[in-house]
Structures are given as structure tokens and as C-alpha cells.
Amino acid sequence: MSNPGRLSALSFRDFRLFWFGQLISLSGTWMQSVAQGWLVYRLTKSPLYLGMVAAAGALPILLFTLIGGIIADRFPKRNILLVTQALSIVPALLLGTLTSLGVVHVWQVAVLAALLGTINAIDIPARQSFLIEMVGKGHVVNAIALNSAAFNGARIIGPMIAGLSIQYFGLPACFFINAASFIAVIVALANMEARGDIYVKSEGAINDFKKGLAFIRGEGEIKRTMALIGIFSLVGLPYITLLPIFAEEVFHRGAQGLGFLVGASGVGALTAALGIAVMGNIEHKTRFMSLAGLCFSFALLSFAFSKTFWLSLVVIMIGGWGMVSYLAAANSFIQITVPDELRGRVMSVYAFVFLGLVPVGNSIMGVAADAFGTTNAVAAGGVICIAASAVFAKASLRPGSAGAGNAGSG
């Protein structure tokens, strides 16, 4: 495999177009995410509703992302992404219109979140499996890291702009800006040469899906990697949904505080993504994933008990670094290991455990926060993540395991 080098994926014209379009569009997406959370909190003052609306947005990924993987292996991926990006404009426009007219209700927010989640269920497997086809296996680690950098750079830019926009221009501005931001990706995709290769003919949806699962079952390291992602999604990542409670009731910082909390997590995540991109590779991936998973887990527990705003920003940065470091290493390890003809389906399973389980987790954490308190619920999630990360590290790094060596240096 060729030496990927530093930022080498940007030497590919198609990836450059995709990357810059993503940076713009994702900034808008993060603006909407923060604004939507603040809108739900303002309408209900309830952590339970925050969890339920977030679950409504992620539930379609649980239901449909595996179908999205089959679609990604059957049709040109660029064409799939053109359709999903165009459709994503609709929920943002509708939510902005309802909010600006002052007729928005929490059930409408949930329905529009579910609509966007359904679109994302088709978009995500195609997007993930398209990366390697733009740059090749020799540069995929770099492409994944740079894609993560765009996501997390937007995670800093978007929430901070959202906090200021909510304060000075009102909530609808965030939704309308997000709707306009999708145009950047559509323009980038329309000017790309890569279309997304189709490697195999379909043998029927059920047989196609079974082949993807059979591959995963035969790869112990991939099974362990996805299992830990699933646990993070169930009890770790839902803390993001509860950040409006921390911003308002724990730190008394309002919408601006919420923007800074989400942005601080993004700073840590961006640091991780850029660090991996500059390195060009991750040697000893499983060892690195073990460290990163523990880092995220301990940071989550510390954040739950912190009562100082600026200390919490530092802790949440560390957590963001740990989560993105783990996910970037896991993503590249899976993409390099999987055969080309199964990539869409295997990445749909990755999306299923990473994002599809989030609605279950948001529901669990929303109910737990409502019953036992937000800080207690997040603290319990941190303890579970610590235990799961320790089990992953012990299993993956024991002598004789596949991960005890370099775990796929890529």
C-alpha cells in the first residue's frame, strides 16, 4: 500500500471539491442542530422532550440505514448524494418557516427531524463508502481524517454562529442558513468526475445484506470495534442532546453557553482529526483506539460532575478528542479491511451502530435524566463507557489477539 503522506487526499480534485462543499454544508447543519435543541428546550423546558426529538431524528437511521447500504452498492454514489442533499433542503426550509411564523410545535420539530433522518439513512452509507473511491486505499486514512476535520471544524463554526444568531437574529435564521448551505455540496458533486463504482449485481436485498453481515461475523476485531461504538452511541454520545440543560440549569449561560459547549467538543474533535490527517496514518490502530475510548469515557464522567463552566469546556474538549480519535481509527480500519463489493453494506452497519442506536440512547438518557437528574444520568453513562472501553482494551491487546500487533497499520 502506498505511503499516504500528509494531507495527501487533498491532491485529488474530486475530494477537494467534496471537502470544501462539506465544510460549508456541515456548518449549516450544526447551526440547525443547536437551534433545534434550543427550540425544543424553549418550547418544553424538558430533558425528556429533548431526548425524544433527538430520537425522532436518529430513529430512521436505525430503521433504514442498512437499506441505504444496499442502495450504495447498487447505484452510483454521486447520484445518490445529489438526491439526498437536494432533499435535505426541505426540512430546514419548513422548520425555518414554521418558527418565523410563530406556529411551531414540538411535534412538528420531531416530524421534520424524522424526515431529515430518513434522508440521512440513505446518504450516510453512500457518503462513507464514496471516500475510498475518490482517493484509493492508499489515501483513505487521510481522507477519513480530513472528512472528520471538516465535520468537526463545522462543529466549532456552526454552534458558535448559531449561538450569536439566536441572540441577535432569532432562531429562524439558523434554519434558513442551513437550507442554503446544502447548495455548496450539490455544486461540488455536480462538478466531480467520480461517480461511485458498482462492483456486483444484486442478488436480492436479503441476500445482499446477509453477505455484509457474514463478513462482519468472520472478523473478530471488527465485531469488537463496532460493539464499543454501539455502547458509546447508547450511553455516551447522548450527552450532546442534554447540553441545553447543562447550559441553562447547571452553568446559567443560555444559548451562548450552549454554543460554546458544543463548540468546545468540536475543538477537541477537530484537533484529533487534524492530528491524524497530518500524521497520514495510525500505527497500532487497536492500541490507539483503546486509549482514545478510555479518554472519551473518563472525560464524560468528569464533565457530569463539573460545576465550573470553563473547566467543563476543557473536559469536553478532551472528550471530543477521544471520541473522534476512536471513530477515525475504527472507520479507516474497517474501510481498509472490507472488500470493495461489500463496502456500502459494511459501512451501513457501521452507521447503524454509530448513529442508528442513538435514538435508543437518547430515549434512555432522556428518561433517566427526567427521573434521576441530568448530571446523574450522564455520570452513569460515563461509568458504563469506562467499563466497556476497559473490556475492549483487554480483549484487543491480549497476547495472541489480532489487535495485539499493529492492528492493521493501513
Domains and their CATH numbers in the chain: 8-404 (1.20.1250.20)
Question: What is the distance between the alpha carbons of residues 326 and 292, in angstroms, rounded to a whole number?
Answer: 5
> Mean pLDDT in each 10-residue stretch from start to end of the chain (410 residues)?
62 90 89 89 84 82 82 86 95 95 93 93 87 79 82 78 85 93 92 67 60 67 87 90 87 84 84 78 76 94 92 94 89 79 78 79 84 91 95 74 43
CA 391 to chain centre: 23
* pLDDT for residue 389: 93
Angle separating helix axes 106-135 and 140-168, nearest 10 degrees: 150
Question: What is the distance between the alpha carbons of residues 36 and 152, in angstroms, rounded to a whole number?
Answer: 18
* pLDDT for residue 256: 81
* pLDDT for residue 108: 95
* pLDDT for residue 401: 53
Please, what's the largest Cα pairwise distance for the chain? Answer: 63
Check: CB of residue 147 under 8 Å from CB of residue 22.
Answer: yes
Question: What is the distance between the alpha carbons of residues 104 and 98, in angstroms, rounded to a whole number?
Answer: 5
* pLDDT for residue 381: 94
pTM of the full predicted structure?
Answer: 0.73
* pLDDT for residue 354: 82
* pLDDT for residue 205: 56
Check: CB of residue 386 under 8 Å from CB of residue 294.
Answer: yes
* pLDDT for residue 335: 79
pLDDT in tens, 296-346: 999 999 999 998 999 999 999 999 999 988 988 888 888 777 777 777 778
